[in-house]
Structures are given as C-alpha cells and as structure tokens.
Amino acid sequence: MNDRNYKGFLYLLPALLFLGIFMVYPLIDVVIYSLEEGYNFASGNFNGYGLYNFKYVLHDPFFIQALKNTSIIVIITVPLSTLIALLISLGLNSIKPFREFLQTLYFLPYVTNTLAVGLVFMILFKKTPYSDGLVNLLINSLGYSSVDFIEGPYAAKMFVMCFYTIWIVMPFKILILTSALSSVNKDYYNAARVDGTSRFRIFYKITLPMISPMIFYLIITGFIGAFKAYSDEVAIFGTNLNEAGMNTIVGYVYDMLYGDSGGYPSFAGAASIILFVIVFTITVINLLISKNKVNV
C-alpha cells in the first residue's frame, strides 16, 4: 500500500512542480508585489507595504483610458457577438443542405493566428497615401467620405476593434450554440408544430429556455475573455497601444512590466489584481442571475 502511495505522487510530480512554480507561487507573489511600495526592479528594494500601488494605478490616466476601452469592448462585443452567434446558429439549425459545410467554414477563424489576420484587417481598414482601403471604398460608394479607421477618430478605431473582436470570438460561440441547439430533442419542436405554435413562440418558450444554460455559459466566458482583450488590439493597432489610445487593462499590465514604460512589476501586479477583482465580481453576478433565470 505504501508503495502505491508513493507512486501516485511520483506520477504527479512533474505537474505539481510546474504548476507550483508557474501558477501557485506567482499567485501569492503577485499579491506581495502589489503591496510593495516603491519597488525597484533592478535592485529589488522597496520602501514598505501598503496600498499605494493600487492608488497610483487607479489614478493613472493610461489605466483609466485602458479601463474605458476595455469596458466599451466588453459592453459592445459580448452581447452583440452572442446575439449574432445565436442568429447564425438558429439559421444553421434550420437548414439542411450546406449545413455542415457552413459550420466548418464559420469555425475557421478559431484556428488562425490573431496577429496575422489582424494585419489583414488593418490593411482593409487603413487609409494610406496610395489608397483609402477597401472598407473606405465601400463607404465612398454609399456616398460618404473616407474615415481613417486605424489612426483616426476614437469611435472609428473602436468600431474596427469591436468588429475584429467579434470576428475572432464568433467561431467558438457559433460552435457552442449550434451544438446546444442540435441537442434539443426534435420531438419538442414536432409537438409544438402540431399544436400550431408560432415560430416566435417556439423560439421564446421552448428553444431559449432549453439552451439558456449554454447562453449563460457563453456570456460568462465572453465577459472573461473580453476583459482580457489584448492581442487582438496589438494585431490592429501595433504594440504601442497607449499612443493609439486603444490600450486595454491587460495591455497596461504588460506595459508596466516590460518595454519602454516597463520595469514596474508592482504597478503591473496591482493592475492585474484589479482586473481579476472586476472579472470575478462580474462572473459572480452573472452566476447569481443565471441561477434565477436559467431553467434546467
């Protein structure tokens, strides 16, 4: 028996080792960092413990901007992408020919490199001396004048950002929703049809309650994912997000850690803990709502 006990840990050893070093220890350490005031990365000295780092971050205009950008992205993309994904999945669920083909096609963006495709999006939207870009051409053809989506007004940049974010998250949501929809027993629909239920009522009274757990799952993961937005922003606007005015909270964390403005792990730690608290709170609220609303 003893031999067995020892063996179990032996098998777990590599996982425990790596998770310990790269997950558990950092988790404790980041809290310590965030409380160490005036920490100097080079010398490793600090003045004492306190909440100064949090105060600093919360008053930093770059962080405020990042928080605002992130919030806008979250508020726009999470409901919108879930809604569009729901519409697409309902569409997919109602057709037979081409269904599997389209399902596969829609999933394609999931496997692509976000930096690579982001570059294409930038080209499509960007105004250059040579050309106003394809999207502007489209806008021109509708009778409006060109907009610089990449270096122009905030709203235009935010539009591109949200558009790209939705494009990126859509495959996952469509996949989850189509499989949720197809797992609803067809007999429910047949029963409702025989009873003369209108399409809207079928959707509202049968489909929606049946897939509501999955919708809530998507909303929760959507919130978490969108709050952690970063690479997609880099893909469109480049690494200097502060200059573009498009930084996100995660971007702020990395900037504090590394690069020209870097070398402040304490500020980075404080910012990442603030992010965690926000995400955690929203997740808990979501879960509470879903407990009341979701029918199983």
Partner 1 sequence: MKVTLQNLTKVFPGRNKQVSEDVIAVNDFNFEIPDGKLIGLLGPSGCGKSTTLNMISGLEKPTSGKIFFGEEDVTDLSPELRGVGLVFQNYALYPHLTVKGNILFPLQNLKKDKKLTKEQMNEKVEYVSKLVQIDELLERKPSELSGGQQQRVAIARALVKMPKILLLDEPLSNLDARLRLQTREELRRIQKETGITTVFVTHDQEEAMSISDMIVVMNKGVMNQYGAPQEVYEDPKNLFVAKFLGTPPINIFYGSVRSGALYIGKTEVMKAPGLDDREVYVGVRPEGFIINENGPLSCDLERVEVMGRDTSIVARHNYFTGAFIRAIISSEDAPRSDLKTVSFSLKKNKTYIFDKITEERLYLEN
Partner 2 sequence: MENLNQENKKRKIYNNIKTGLTYFFLAFWGIIVLFPFYWMLLTSVKSYGSYNSEYIPAFFTLHPTLQNYKEAFTAVPLFGYFINTLIFTLVTTGLMLIITLLSAFAFARLNFPGKNVIFLLFLSLMMIPNELVVITNYVTITNLNMRNSYPGLILPSVASVFFIYLLKENFEQVPEEIYKAAKVDGTSDLKYLFKVLVPISRPTVITIIILKVIECWNSYVWPRLVTDNPRYFLVSNGIQEIRENGFGRENVPAMMASVVAVSIPLIILFLIFHKRIMEGVSRGGTKG
Residues 203-222 that bind partner 1 (CB under 8 A): 205-206, 209-210
Task: Compute the CA torsion angle 103, 106, 111, 117 (nearest 10 deg).
Answer: 170
Segment contacting partner 2 (CB under 8 A): 54-62, 121-129, 149-157, 201-209?
Answer: 121-129
- In angstroms, give the least distance from the CB of 193 to partner 1: 5
Based on the number of CB atoms within 10 Å of its own CB, is 35 exposed (0-12), middle (13-18) or buried (19 or more)?
A: buried
Segment contacting partner 2 (CB under 8 A): 50-58, 127-135, 185-193, 200-208?
Answer: 127-135
Summarize the chain as % helix, strand, coil (round to 5).
75, 0, 25
Closer to partner 2 by Cβ: residue 51 or 137: 137
Interface pick for partner 2 out of 8, 48, 61, 143 (rule CB under 8 A): 8
- In angstroms, give the least distance from the CB of 51 to partner 2: 18
Quote the CA–CA distance of 60 and 223 in Å, as a whole number. Answer: 24
Interface pick for partner 1 out of 18, 22, 188, 280 (rule CB under 8 A): 188
Tokens (6 digits) for 69: 């950008």
201 binds partner 1 (CB under 8 A): yes
* Residue 170 contacts residue 82 (beta carbons within 8 Å): no
5 binds partner 2 (CB under 8 A): yes
Encoded one letter per residue, x for contact with partner 1 by CB under 8 A and - for no contact, window 231-270 reads ----------------------------------------
Based on the number of CB atoms within 10 Å of its own CB, is 143 exposed (0-12), middle (13-18) or buried (19 or more)?
A: exposed
Quote the CA–CA distance of 252 and 268 in Å, as a whole number. Answer: 7
Quote the CA–CA distance of 207 and 205 in Å, as a whole number. Answer: 6
Interface pick for partner 2 out of 35, 181, 244, 279 (rule CB under 8 A): 279
Binding residues among 52-81 for partner 1 as defined by CB under 8 A: none
Binding residues among 236-255 for partner 2 as defined by CB under 8 A: 238-239, 250, 253-254
Quote the CA–CA distance of 31 and 99 in Å, as a whole number. Answer: 49
19 binds partner 2 (CB under 8 A): yes
Chosen from partner 2, partner 1, none, partner binding at 75 (C-beta under 5 to 8 Å by type): none
Helix orientation angle between 249-257 and 265-293, rounded to the nearest 10 degrees: 160
Binding residues among 94-113 for partner 2 as defined by CB under 8 A: 94-95, 98, 102-113
215 binds partner 2 (CB under 8 A): no
124 binds partner 2 (CB under 8 A): yes
Interface pick for partner 1 out of 61, 187, 260, 292 (rule CB under 8 A): 187
- In angstroms, give the least distance from the CB of 156 to partner 2: 19
Where is 270: in which H helix or E strand? helix 265-293
Quote the CA–CA distance of 41 and 64 in Å, as a whole number. Answer: 24
125 binds partner 2 (CB under 8 A): no
Closer to partner 1 by Cβ: residue 210 or 282: 210
Of the candidates 148, 168, 164, 165, the one whose C-alpha atom is nearest the C-alpha of residue 156 is 148
- In angstroms, give the least distance from the CB of 19 to partner 2: 5
Of the candidates 271, 273, 292, the one whose C-alpha atom is nearest the C-alpha of residue 281 is 273
